[in-house]
Structure 1
Amino acid sequence: MLPVLFSDFIGLIFPQVCLACSESLARGEDHICTGCRAQLPYTDYHTLPEAHNPIARRFWGKVPVRYALSYLRFLRHGRVQHLLHQLKYQGQREVGQVLGRWFGAELTQQGLNQHFDLIVPVPLHPRKLAKRGFNQSDCFAEGLSTGLQVPWSSAALCRTENTDSQTRKNRAQRWHNVATVFTVADEAVVAGKHVLVVDDVLTTGATLEACVAVLLAAGCREVSIATIACAEQ
């Protein structure tokens, strides 16, 4: 009883707020309020046949991707953009962890957890990682690992060049920007495994495409991709 009272007292002094709408959280809510969670623009692509999955189609004819998964639709000035801004630029790592746990639980309900052997986040260059202090894709991978009950590794993939931001580049420019910047640190870690490579947002798919190619060349049996959100093209 005392811990609950103490928690309520602390909540009055330092109220926790929803990271999507900034309203106060009720007891039991996990960083995102129930109202915002209900209104998030879920894709439900993991419930669709591959032929009807628009994320999967982005990789057709480029690299073989077993499952193409994205939890939310990215809409400008919406809740998802605000959540990703909180994660990436405000240091709110809980955003990635919570969304990863929720998405992982949904994928487990579909039985997809049985297919993956290892979760690998898209890496940041060491200089960018040192400047930011964390990799937002690590947070998502950690949450997915909990939801899927599949191990994750932040050391499997390395970024060898500190490339420019992808934000204002077209697809061709994005591809050339990242085509040769990833490497597998230890092929024995991924060889023969079905790897789920994860990132925060899918736009053109150039970054994930480059990661998939490198992982397959290192001996992965299969590679799938998952992101917190996807932008429509």
Structure 2
Amino acid sequence: MASRIDFNCDLGEGCGDDAAIMPWITSANIACGAHAGDDATIRETLRFCREHGVTVGAHPGYADRAHFGRREMSLPHHELIALVREQIARMAAFAREQGLTLRHVKPHGALYNQSARDPDIAAAIAEAVHGHDPSLRLVGMSGTQSILAADAAGLRTAHEVFAERGYGADGCLLPRGVPGAVLDAEAAIDQALTFAQRGEVAYRGSEAGGTLRLQADTLCLHGDRDDAADLARTLHAALTAAGVRIRSLESR
């Protein structure tokens, strides 16, 4: 049973109520301007982090704003390293401007999902993170290639699980559009509590009916949901009521 968990959210994407979400989370993954966001949204989100004591993370993705970074791409190894490292450096510079320090990196969308499955993509991301600052933590899908590559590169890691996304039997997220891929608020609360209390998740989709054990260091809520602010507050209350301490990874 997990007595504590980090609660993170993907923010600065220009499509959610970041100000209303921020009081309920402990870590923010901020869009770096590739898949979404710009100088203004980065600065605003960082100000919110400073006001609420939320840990700052970079959220690099494919430079594909038309598809919100959710379309899988194939880039040469050196181009992928450069893509990720440039976004990390940009976020780190903005954080310093606000008197804050970048603490972690979590890839976005298709890049995140590909790094969970593909060891070469996972290695490129880990190399980019390590090349910028080997003290940074890499947040990756729990138990996947992303975590293995980060461990191999000597990075600190955080096994991430998701409150409101459905899992398949392989331990990966079901693709958006598949039944069970996006959970309603009630199901999300149940799933978050199961992760925090037992380190388990019931998988869904065509093979629904079983459970998986996954390490749960940090719980993610997507900030682009219409109900993200209300769900963040409700998740925080439910976890706290269950005796789970919500703490930043950096406070461990």
Asked if TM exceeds 0.5, the reply is: no
Q: Radius of gyration: which is bigger?
A: 1
TM-score after normalising by structure 1: 0.38
TM-score after normalising by structure 2: 0.36
